[in-house]
Amino acid sequence: MDIDRIIEKAGGADEIAALAGVGLEAVRKWRQSRMVPTKHWPALLRVPGIALQDLTADLTTTETQQEQERETDVSNPCPPGANAALVLADGTVLWGRGFGAHTEGAVGELCFSTGMTGYQETLTDPSFAGQIVTFTFPHIGNVGTNTDDNEAPKMAALGAVVKEDITAPASWRSHEPFAAWLRDHGRAGISGIDTRAITRTLRDNGPQTAILAFPENGRIDTDSLLNRARQWPGLEGMDLAKEVTRPKRAWTEGVWHSTKPVRENRRRVVAMDYGAKDNILRCLVTAGCDVTVLPATATAEEILELKPEGVFLSNGPGDPAATGTYAVPAIRKVLDANVPVFGICLGHQLLAQALGGKTYKLERGHRGANQPVKDVETGRVEITSQNHGFAVDEKSLPADVKVTHVSLFDGSNEGIASTTKDAFSVQYHPEASPGPSDSFYLFERFVAVMDRRAKAGA
């Protein structure tokens, strides 16, 4: 199967993705594995010039037989009481009880989150795209779900791993049980798992690829699942911002129940949506911004056409180096236009690249609502909410970029500022959803920069 030739016949990556009903990331995986999954063949066979022999040319008889055997043979049947499995690429098989939507296997990077609250916000944070979230707190789902706590319209995480079985909701705010909410989003969860063992594995051995299976027919082939997990390429090199970004829109909603007075002199801000959490946008509004949200792929010309007084770079998933191929040139032009810039999480990493720095994959990511960060200039320690698996390489930063914040867990970079531009960013989430609100001042600092420039006539 000449996958490149097939994509070319279909009209390119965008066309074949639309035809098959998948994202561009799936097409990238097809290129890497040099094959198109058989379930997409009927759609591709409708394309003039693509024949069945094109799709099957390199499939050997042995491979075909193995595929048929996987459909009929079940190795390692479920132990009594189990109907789901979490299979790690290192060969570990964890049996449990599935809930939510059935799945033949959702594969991604397994991570853990240490937050004691906010599981709904966590799972809908677009920064978790491509990841299966293990919750270290045992009581997940016990307060149900509601329509207010989503950080995006769709659940971004691929699945949830929890220790205890889900109980009936015990909160007056609940609109729907957690398991039903997962079904609505087409995602699965698995309970009865030793989440402490997973946490130790990830702590000691770094990120692990895993696959979560909760099949409707109850048949689980762990050998096949392990093979799929080992074939997954990992998050390095993945641009997932395009998968989670949303179209251009105005955002007017502020923080709920805010006691801050409404500003009269509001500042025009363009927020770049690389996977923005809704509560970040609410914080910008509450701090005094009129916000226009643009998709991740917006050009510098599209940004500057709106005559912004400031540009905000949002959080998001995937490898910042991959997203940076199109985002960094736009950010550099914004900086050259002398427009103030404020970045968070992925936006922090993209700003660092635009200023001349580089990023790298952390051995252990930071995810949770209890991460201590030190302000280098003041010595003040903030307890922060975080979700990232990549970081800025401080050694790569040029002389005109200073470090402003560092992690007290591992010393990795948590904030930078340009000494020649009105541009600064932090790795953590000052909107704190979920988490503490120690860092809201950063939104006010951004507005203060724009106020100062307006007063000076800049």
* Those residues with Cβ within 8 angstroms of residue 393's Cβ, 6 or more apart along the chain or in another chain: 357, 358, 359, 360, 413
Q: For helices 24-33 and 13-20, give the axis angle rounded to 10 degrees.
A: 100
Q: Of residues 283, 309, 345, 382, which has the active-site annotation?
A: 345
Residue 345 annotated to the active site: yes
Q: What is the DSSP string of 161-220?
A: E-SSPPPPP--TT-SB-HHHHHHHTT-EEEES--HHHHHHHHHHH--EEEEEEE-TT---
Phi, psi of 123 (to 5 degrees): -70, -25
Catalytic residue among 121, 151, 382, 431, which? 431
> For this structure, is 309 an active site residue?
no
Quick one: DSSP state of residue 311? E
**Cα–Cα distance, 399 to 331 (Å, whole number):** 19
Q: Distance (Å, rounded) from C-alpha 114 to C-alpha 136? A: 5
Please give the structure tokens belonging to residue 59: 């499939």
Burial class (CB in 10 A: 0-12, 13-18, 19+), 40: middle
Tell me which residue of 77, 86, 74 sits closest to 189, measured CA to CA. 86
> How many C-beta atoms lie closer than 10 Å to residue 147's C-beta?
8
Q: Which pair of structure tokens corresponds to residue 214?
A: 């909760």
Q: How far apart are CA 353 and CA 321, in angstroms?
A: 8
Distance of CA 450 to the CA centre of its chain: 29
Cite the active site residues.
345, 429, 431
